[in-house]
Structures are given as structure tokens and as C-alpha cells.
């Protein structure tokens, strides 16, 4: 009997494919989206990891070195690397050995600034993973190769001059361009000699970096103190030689007495595998994408349930005949659930290849991760296929059980659609108008929407869910952004703080040189040049700016062995006017940034001992004042007492529009860095830019992902209309016989689609706005922040509604065409 059920199910699908096409489309899209999300997450995670260790992709053996915190750190690192290099060059199994290093920096052209990871080139082609698509590789320390995206951002081409932000600016000539893409910080290929110059400009090892060594690692990979990471890349004759060469190199280092925290030999393949394993799966991204795919599957399940209800209502006579010839209710249920299983299997079989194809296209043209390979976890895809089949069966259970309750006599009775309102009779010509007023076809279309409320509600609910979630994301992001910006202003009250000649730059900001570069002939730190403030005030986007005097760096002690050294600035009335949130300081208080408080291991209300250049000390109570990470703020009276000599060392800036902070900060940096070495830029503007970009990206990603659910829901609209065409064949024939043109039937279905789409969009927008604000309020309340203002982007919301309504109109085209092409004679035929 089970085999007969399956045979009947397949026969029904083969003989009446039109009834199942739209439902199958919903299954295919839902399964494909869920499967593609898993493939893309794994693929992008793998690509992101491999981009960070591309230098290991061509090298068989790699010697890594680390620079630690002692005065002779660089010397010991260099000696260890030299011993390893000598061992590798003496090994006959090695075909190439080259030094390699990276350091994060910036390049400038006019007022355009771009972050780059300066990367040393390899002379041996077997060790090189890139080639210029234009120009050539650098051959001198004043030459650079950039990616096409960086060159486009800077507006430069091969042969143009740009500047490296390093203790002022260093001119470089662009000699080549690569087409590499997908980097968070794109590479800038230079000679190894230039990176050695970068390291020579860094200050000696600073024990304060121990507070946050991760900043060092991210800025100069492989380093942990005042220098850059240095590696040796080696190529062997064959892959089989790699492990023996690595072991021999490590043995040579061990014999020389070098600890592995100074230098260690690795297999290149091991470093790549470790990076991929460490990258793992991004938890929030995984949840985001998989959750959106689950919503799409839920919407698909609603469509499947609605479609099955329609199909089974149309096949009441078939069910009655089955019951009349002795089929039990269980057999009827098994037959129609067999159809659901068959549809689920076919949908999964079509959805998985579609997912692989879509993932490959995205990796090739959008994320550019195709060169690193498409990562396909077949076990996950089998689970996804099973989920698709299970969701289809579960969606069909309720309609099938409901239909199976019908007795043979009930199922064989003629189906009379329950009218929601008075239906036009045969004698009432749609061409003659309506006594109730309005266009008769419009009136009839509205009645058709309401004649089966359960079906209309189910169809509209799926679309409502998708639209509501899209608006929820948009409103939640917009509302949360306003409150988050207000919280940032309260804690970081200055838009942009510019500090000149910062003493002893940390490795987290290697764009400055050692202290000797920042001092005048008398040994005092340099202040801003006389034209600095006019330049800032003349920069587009700057509303106000004020110069604040600062002192020579002073030493602060907060406990045994815990100290720091920073200049002191006066919190003047002019400075208070620039702040977006007031800071109150008494003469016996000192304002410190949260970052500085962490370094000094103090909290608000604690005390510090401040030593001035002349010797006397003062005990001051700590107040959090995030004006600058390398700055002490004090009351003007206290500043006059502590610092009789001062310099123009701080410019506080308020922006006209914080939304333009990216471009303004870049322009300020580009305009000032050339004549003000050691410039340090801080403030909430950059944090707002990062937060705004993050929220915008999440909103765009979520909107795009949920749009797939909306597409599935619109397939349901088309499905409902298409099946209603089959259901109303006699009615449509009668309308044609009464003189309604084919275009009239198409227009009726268009009105039905628009009615469903508009109703779903309006209710979805209302719920999305309400729940979006509630979600933002809940998140902010969890972070002990005040509730947000309701922020609704009217154009964004209107655009969402118009797109959904337009798509609903498109969903009516095929059903309308099918209804219009049917002749009255064909339409009057009885399918049984």
C-alpha cells in the first residue's frame, strides 16, 4: 500500500504539474537559501583566514620571530633570524629564502587617505602570491604597488606620487596595481628596505605595550614591542622536503640557544591550517544568516500549507471517490502526505545545486573569495535537505488531516465557494456597471479576495511576516543609532581631538617616529605650526575649533610599579564650548580617558600622584574625561600652577554634521600630517563612523536576507492567484461569455494581488515600526542606556512598500495570462 501511495503521488505530480509548480518554487528557494547560507559562511570564513596568512600559501617552511620587551630585544631577534637564514641557505633542499614583514600604515594623496598593510615583496616568483596587472613590482624603497580598489579611492594611477604617513610624510611612486580584492586592510607592496625604515622610526621597547599586546599584533603582525614582525619564507625542492628542512632549521636554532619565543620554524601548511581553525565560524554572522534563512523556510512553510489547503479543496471529489471505494482515512492521509514528501525531495534535490551555483557566483563576483575555494560541508547540506523535506511534510499535515475528515457524500457534493458578500449573478453583466457604484470588475476582484478569508489571511500573513521583519530591522537600527550616538557624546564629548607631537607613540599607532623627531633644538616637544588652527577651521565640515595649550609630558604614579607619562592640558572655557557634553573638573581633580585609566589601573574617584618637570608632586582625584587617550585634563587654575611653560599642542574640533566624519577626519589628517609629525587623531567622530557603518551594513545585510523571505511570500501570492484561476474556471468562462475581455480578467487578478500586497505591507510596516522600536529599547535597556527616540526613515520605508506592491503586481502576471488564454469551452470542462 505504501508503494501504491508513492506511485499515486508521483503520478499526480507528473500529470498535474501546474498545480505544484509554485509550491515547488517556494520549497526550492527556501532550501537553496538555507543551503547557500551554510556554504557561503564556510567559504568566507576560510577566505578571511587565508588572506591573513597568504605569505604562508607559497612557502614550504616559515621561520617566525617575536620582539619582546627588553632593551636588546631587536638585537636578539635579528641575530636569531640571521642564524635561521644561514641554516636555510646552507640546506641543499632549499631553493629560495627571503625575508618578509608587514606593518599597518596609511597612504595619502591630497585630502584622500587610505589604510594599507605595507607588505614586503618577494623576488623569487615561487614565493609570490600576487602579480601586478598594471606596471611592475617595486625595486626601490620609494616605490609601492597598490590594489585597484586603493588606487581608485586615492584617484591615482601608475607613475603618480603619493605619501606614506610616517613621522610626517614620505613620498612614494606608484609603480604597479594588482586586482586583489576582499581585504579588510588591503596590501601595499613595498621593498623590505622600506619596512626596515618603518621599524627604525619606531621608539624603543615600551613596557606599557604589555597592557594591551593585541593592539601590537594587529598593527605589526608578529611583533609585541617597539618593532615589526620579521619572518623567513623558504621554498623546498619538493613538498616531501618541507618537514625535514623545518626540523633541521629548528635544530640549528636550538643549538644556538634561541628560545622559541624568539624564533621558531614552522611548516607553511601548518600555519594556514591553524589560521583557518582559529578563524572558525563567526558566531553572530552565522546566527544572522542562518536565522534569516530559517525565516525564509518558515514563510515557505506557510505558503506550502496554504497551497495544500487549496489543492485539497479542489480535489474533494477525488478524496470522496477514494473513500467511496474503501480507502481508509489513514490511507488518504498517507497518499497526500506522500505527495508532500515527494515535493520536499524534489525541492531539496533542486535547491542544493541552486545553492551551490549561487554561492559560487557570489564568491566569484561579490566577495572575491573564489580563489580560496568553495567550502562545501556535505553533511550540513544533507541536514538542510532533510529540514526542507520535513518542513514540507509538517506544513502539509494540518491541511491533509482536515481534508481526510470529509465523508464520501460530503466530498462528492458540488463545491460552492462561501461568499463574503453578495456575488454577481449570471444576469448581472459586468459591463453594465454596478448599482452599488464603482467599477464592476474592481468590485468583483475585491469580493474574490474576501470570498475565502482563511486563504487570503494565510497568503497575506507570509508576506506580512517578511515585510514586518524588514521594517523591524530598519527601525531598530535607526532608533538605536540615535541613542548610541547620544551615549557616545556623553562619554566621548569631543568630535575630533588633534594632538601634536605625541610623546613616545605606542605601537598601536606606528605612524609616528621616536621622541627625537618631535623635539625642537632645546629638547622640548613640538607644538602645532602657526597655520594649523586656520587650516582646521578652513576644512569643510568643521563647525568650530579651538587651540588648547598643553605641557611637557608629566609622570603619573598610581601604585607600585604602575606609571605613565602624558602631557597636561587646561580645560578652558573655550574648550568647554566645543564639547558636546560638559566635563566638570575641580582644581584638585584630573581628567583621564578610560584607556589611560586602564593603563594606570585606577577607577573614577581614585587618586594619582603627578610629578611636574620641576619636581614637586600633587595628589589628584581621577575623573573620567575622554578628550584624548594620551592626555591629562585639569582645571585652568591647576594648569597654571603645574605647567608654567606650555605649547599649542591640542586642537579640539566640533563637526557640522557627524555623518560626514569619515571624510572630515581624512581631510584633517591629510592637511596637517605633513608639517605636524606625530599627529594623533582621536574623538567620537571615528567611533560614530565605525558604529554607523556597522549598523548600516547589518541593516543592508538583514534587509537583503529577509528580502529572500519576501520573494518566497510573493511566490505564495502568485501561487494563490494561479490556483484560484483553476478554481474559478467556470466563473471566468461565464465572465468571458458575458463580454468581459481577456484584459479584464488580467486586471481583476492584478487588483487581487495588489489588495493582498498592500494589506500585508501596511500591517507589516505598522508591526515592524512598533516591534523595531521595542527591540531597540530592549537592547539599550540591557546596556543601561535611556530608551531611544522612534526613528523611521520615510523614504526607506516607502521604498520597501513600493517594492513589495510592485512585486505583488508582477506575481499576478502569469496567473492573469493563464486566465485570459483559457477559452470559455475549455473553462467549462470539469476536471473532477
Q: What mean pLDDT, rounded, does the chain reach?
A: 78
| Winning range, highest mean pLDDT, from 147-156, 523-532, 785-794 | 147-156
Residue 167 has a pLDDT of 54
DSSP string, 617-675: EEEEEEEE-TT-TT-EEE-HHHHHHH-SS-EEEEEEEEES-GGGHHHHHHHHHHHHTTT
Q: How confident is the model at residue 144 (pLDDT cuts 50, 70, 90)?
A: very high
Residue 161 has a pLDDT of 93
Nearest alpha-carbon partner for 493 in 584, 593, 597, 581: 581
> Per-residue pLDDT tens for 643-691?
667 888 899 999 988 777 777 888 888 888 777 877 888 888 877 877 7
**Residue 224 is placed in which grid cell?**
609585541
Q: Are 462 and 303 in contact (CB under 8 A)?
A: yes
Calpha distance 618→611 (Å, rounded):
7
Q: Are 174 and 160 in contact (CB under 8 A)?
A: yes
> Per-residue pLDDT tens for 373-399?
888 888 889 988 998 898 888 888 888
Calpha distance 43→380 (Å, rounded):
13
Calpha distance 369→43 (Å, rounded):
7
Better-scored residue on pLDDT, 213 or 259: 259
Buried b (16+ CB within 10 A) or exposed e, 138-157: beebbbbbbbebbbebbebe
Better-scored residue on pLDDT, 215 or 742: 742
Neighbours of 830 (CB within 10 A): 7
Res 820 pLDDT > 60: yes
Q: Is 739 left (phi over 0), alpha (psi -120 to 50) or beta?
A: left
| Winning range, highest mean pLDDT, from 99-103, 199-203, 420-424, 803-807 | 99-103
Calpha distance 735→740 (Å, rounded):
6
Give the helix, strand, coil percentages of the chain, each rounded to 5: 55, 15, 30
Sign of the C-alpha dihedral computed for residues 822, 826, 829 and 830 taken in this order: negative
Residue 188 has a pLDDT of 93
Q: How confident is the model at residue 465 (pLDDT cuts 50, 70, 90)?
A: confident
Q: How confident is the model at residue 211 (pLDDT cuts 50, 70, 90)?
A: very low
Nearest alpha-carbon partner for 105 in 150, 73, 59: 150
Mean pLDDT computed over 84-93: 95
Q: How confident is the model at residue 108 (pLDDT cuts 50, 70, 90)?
A: confident
Q: Are 668 and 500 in contact (CB under 8 A)?
A: no
Residue 1 has a pLDDT of 42
Q: Are 242 and 56 in contact (CB under 8 A)?
A: no
72-81, 290-299, 560-569: range with lowest mean pLDDT? 290-299
Residue 210 has a pLDDT of 42
17-26, 32-41, 413-422: range with lowest mean pLDDT? 413-422
Better-scored residue on pLDDT, 39 or 507: 39
**Which one-letter DSSP state was computed for residue 124?**
S
Res 426 pLDDT > 50: no
Mean pLDDT computed over 477-496: 82
Burial bucket for residue 805 (CB in 10 Å: 0-12, 13-18, 19+) = middle
> Per-residue pLDDT tens for 701-724?
667 767 777 777 777 777 777 767
HEC-encoded secondary structure of 365-398: HCCCCHHHCCCCCHHHHHHHHHHHHHHHHHHHHH
Res 158 pLDDT > 70: yes
User: What is the residue whose three cell numbers read 566638570?
Assistant: 584
Residue 432 has a pLDDT of 44
Better-scored residue on pLDDT, 114 or 288: 114
108-117, 224-233, 745-754: range with lowest mean pLDDT? 224-233
Res 113 pLDDT > 90: no
Mean pLDDT computed over 415-434: 46
Residue 323 has a pLDDT of 75
Calpha distance 821→746 (Å, rounded):
10
Instruction: Work out the percent of the chain whose per-residue pLDDT is above 90.
Output: 16
Q: Are 122 and 59 in contact (CB under 8 A)?
A: no
Neighbours of 604 (CB within 10 A): 12
Calpha distance 399→774 (Å, rounded):
35
Query: Strands of 617-624's sheet, edge to edge?
Result: 562-566, 554-559, 607-611, 617-624, 589-592, 632-634, 568-570, 542-550, 647-655, 496-499, 680-682
Mean pLDDT computed over 494-506: 72
Mean pLDDT computed over 284-301: 66
Q: How far is CA 169 from the centre of its chain?
A: 33
The set of long-range contacts for 665-670, using a CB threshold of 8 Å and a minimum separation of 24, is 665/496, 665/689, 666/111, 666/112, 666/113, 667/111, 667/539, 667/540, 667/541, 668/496, 668/498, 668/536, 668/539, 668/542, 669/106, 669/108, 669/113, 669/165, 670/108, 670/110, 670/111, 670/112, 670/113
Nearest alpha-carbon partner for 495 in 703, 649, 348, 685: 685
Burial bucket for residue 120 (CB in 10 Å: 0-12, 13-18, 19+) = buried
Res 371 pLDDT > 50: yes
**Residue 803 is placed in which grid cell?**
517594492
Calpha distance 664→673 (Å, rounded):
14
Residue 433 has a pLDDT of 46
DSSP string, 492-534: S--SEEEESS-SS--TTSTTS--GGGGB-TTSPBP---TTHHH
Res 507 pLDDT > 50: no
Res 521 pLDDT > 70: no
Residue-level length of the chain: 832
Calpha distance 165→112 (Å, rounded):
12
Calpha distance 608→600 (Å, rounded):
9
Distances (CA, A) of 662 to 254, 415, 482, 512, 666: 49, 66, 18, 21, 6
Q: How confident is the model at residue 418 (pLDDT cuts 50, 70, 90)?
A: very low
Res 283 pLDDT > 60: no
**Residue 415 is placed in which grid cell?**
463545491
Mean pLDDT computed over 2-7: 53
Better-scored residue on pLDDT, 644 or 84: 84
CA-angle at 183, arms to 134 and 502, nearest 5°: 100
> Per-residue pLDDT tens for 445-459?
777 666 667 667 767
Distances (CA, A) of 223 to 104, 396, 502, 738: 12, 60, 22, 85
User: What is the residue whose three cell numbers read 640546506?
Assistant: 91
Buried b (16+ CB within 10 A) or exposed e, 177-204: bbebebbeebbbbbbbebbebbbebbbe
**Which one-letter DSSP state was computed for residue 432?**
G
Q: Are 685 and 672 in contact (CB under 8 A)?
A: no
Res 417 pLDDT > 80: no
3-state DSSP call for residue 547? strand
Better-scored residue on pLDDT, 404 or 249: 249
Amino acid at each position: 500500500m505504501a508503494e501504491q501511495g508513492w506511485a499515486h503521488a508521483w503520478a499526480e505530480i507528473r500529470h498535474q504539474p501546474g498545480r505544484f509548480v509554485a509550491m515547488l518554487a517556494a520549497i526550492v528557494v527556501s532550501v537553496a537559501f538555507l543551503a547557500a547560507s551554510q556554504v557561503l559562511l564556510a567559504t568566507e570564513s576560510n577566505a578571511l583566514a587565508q588572506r591573513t596568512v597568504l605569505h604562508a600559501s607559497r612557502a614550504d617552511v616559515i621561520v617566525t620571530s617575536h620582539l619582546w620587551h627588553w632593551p636588546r630585544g631587536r638585537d636578539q631577534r635579528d641575530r636569531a633570524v640571521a642564524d635561521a637564514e644561514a641554516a636555510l641557505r646552507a640546506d641543499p633542499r632549499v631553493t629560495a629564502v627571503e625575508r618578509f614583514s608587514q606593518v599597518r600604515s596609511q597612504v595619502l594623496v591630497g585630502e584622500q587617505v587610505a589604510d594599507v598593510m605595507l607588505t614586503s615583496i618577494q623576488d623569487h616568483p615561487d614565493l609570490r602570491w600576487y602579480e601586478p596587472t598594471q606596471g611592475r613590482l617595486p625595486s626601490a624603497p620609494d616605490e609601492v604597488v597598490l590594489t585597484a580598489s586603493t588606487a581608485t579611492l586615492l584617484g591615482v594611477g601608475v607613475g603618480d606620487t603619493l605619501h606614506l604617513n610616517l613621522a610626517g610624510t614620505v613620498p612614494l611612486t606608484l609603480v604597479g596595481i594588482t586586482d586583489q580584492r576582499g581585504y579588510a586592510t588591503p596590501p601595499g607592496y613595498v621593498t623590505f628596505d622600506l619596512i626596515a625604515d618603518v621599524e627604525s622610526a619606531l621608539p624603543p621597547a615600551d613596557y606599557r605595550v604589555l597592557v594591551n599586546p593585541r593592539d601590537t599584533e594587529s598593527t605589526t603582525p608578529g611583533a609585541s614591542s617597539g618593532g615589526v614582525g620579521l619572518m623567513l619564507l623558504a621554498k623546498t625542492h619538493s613538498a616531501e622536503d618541507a618537514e625535514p628542512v623545518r626540523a633541521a632549521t629548528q635544530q640549528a636554532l636550538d643549538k644556538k640557544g634561541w628560545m622559541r619565543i624568539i624564533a621558531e620554524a614552522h611548516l607553511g601548511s601548518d600555519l594556514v591550517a591553524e589560521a583557518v581553525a582559529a578563524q572558525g565560524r563567526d558566531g553572530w554572522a552565522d546566527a544572522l544568516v542562518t536565522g534569516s534563512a530559517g525565516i525564509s523556510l518558515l514563510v515557505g512553510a506557510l505558503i506550502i500549507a496554504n497551497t495544500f489547503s487549496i489543492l485539497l479543496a479542489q480535489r474533494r471529489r477525488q478524496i470522496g471517490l477514494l473513500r467511496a471505494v474503501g480507502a481508509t482515512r489513514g490511507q488518504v492521509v498517507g497518499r497526500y502526505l506522500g505527495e508532500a514528501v515527494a515535493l520536499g525531495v524534489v525541492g531539496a534535490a533542486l535547491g542544493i545545486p541552486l545553492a551551490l551555483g549561487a554561492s559560487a557566483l557570489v564568491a566569484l563576483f561579490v566577495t572575491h573569495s573564489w580563489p580560496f575555494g568553495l567550502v562545501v560541508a556535505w553533511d550540513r547540506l544533507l541536514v538542510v535537505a532533510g529540514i526542507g523535506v520535513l518542513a514540507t511534510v509538517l506544513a502539509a499535515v494540518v491541511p491533509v488531516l482536515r481534508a481526510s475528515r470529509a465523508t464520501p457524500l460530503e466530498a462528492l457534493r458540488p463545491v460552492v465557494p462561501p461568499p463574503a458578500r453578495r456575488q454577481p449573478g449570471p444576469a448581472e453583466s459586468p459591463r453594465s456597471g454596478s448599482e452599488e457604484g464603482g467599477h464592476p470588475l474592481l468590485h468583483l476582484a475585491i469580493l474574490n479576495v474576501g470570498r475565502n478569508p482563511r486563504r487570503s489571511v494565510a497568503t497575506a500573513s507570509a508576506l506580512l511576516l517578511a515585510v514586518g521583519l524588514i521594517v523591524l530591522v530598519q527601525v531598530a537600527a535607526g532608533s538605536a543609532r540615535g541613542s548610541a550616538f547620544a551615549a557616545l557624546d556623553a562619554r566621548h564629548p569631543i568630535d575630533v581631538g588633534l594632538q601634536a607631537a605625541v610623546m613616545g607613540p605606542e605601537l598601536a599607532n606606528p605612524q609616528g617616529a621616536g621622541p627625537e623627531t618631535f623635539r625642537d633644538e632645546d629638547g622640548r616637544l613640538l607644538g602645532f605650526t602657526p597655520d594649523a588652527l586656520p587650516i582646521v577651521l578652513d576644512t569643510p565640515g568643521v563647525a568650530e575649533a579651538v587651540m588648547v595649550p598643553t605641557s611637557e609630558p608629566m609622570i603619573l604614579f598610581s601604585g607600585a610599579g604602575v606609571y605613565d607619562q602624558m602631557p597636561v592640558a587646561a580645560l578652558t572655557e573655550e574648550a568647554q564650548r566645543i564639547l558636546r557634553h560638559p566635563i566638570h573638573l575641580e582644581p584638585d581633580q584630573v581628567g583621564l580617558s578610560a584607556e589611560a585609566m586602564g593603563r594606570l589601573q585606577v577607577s573614577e574617584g581614585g587618586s594619582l600622584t603627578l610629578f611636574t618637570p620641576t619636581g614637586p608632586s600633587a595628589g589628584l582625584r581621577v575623573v573620567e574625561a575622554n578628550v584624548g587617550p594620551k592626555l591629562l585634563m585639569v582645571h585652568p587654575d591647576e594648569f597654571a600652577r603645574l605647567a608654567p611653560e606650555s605649547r599649542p599642542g591640542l586642537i579640539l574640533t566640533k563637526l557640522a554634521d557627524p555623518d560626514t566624519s569619515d571624510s572630515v577626519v581624512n581631510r584633517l589628517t591629510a592637511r596637517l600630517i605633513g608639517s605636524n609629525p606625530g599627529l594623533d587623531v582621536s574623538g567620537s567622530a571615528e567611533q560614530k563612523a565605525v558604529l554607523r557603518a556597522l549598523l548600516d551594513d547589518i541593516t543592508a545585510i538583514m534587509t537583503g536576507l529577509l528580502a529572500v523571505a519576501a520573494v518566497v511570500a510573493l511566490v505564495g501570492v502568485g501561487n494563490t492567484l494561479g490556483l484560484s484561476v483553476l478554481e474559478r474556471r467556470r466563473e471566468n468562462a461565464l465572465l468571458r461569455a458575458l463580454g468581459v475581455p481577456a484584459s479584464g480578467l488580467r486586471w481583476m487578478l492584478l487588483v487581487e494581488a495588489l489588495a493582498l500586497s498592500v494589506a500585508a505591507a501596511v500591517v507589516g510596516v505598522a508591526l515592524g515600526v512598533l516591534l523595531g522600536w521595542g527591540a531597540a529599547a530592549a537592547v539599550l535597556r540591557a546596556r543601561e542606556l535611556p530608551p531611544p527616540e522612534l526613528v523611521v526613515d520615510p523614504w526607506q520605508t516607502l521604498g520597501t512598500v513600493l517594492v513589495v506592491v510592485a512585486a505583488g503586481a508582477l506575481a499576478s502576471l502569469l496567473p492573469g495570462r493563464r486566465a485570459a488564454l483559457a477559452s470559455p469551452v475549455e473553462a467549462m470542462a470539469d476536471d473532477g
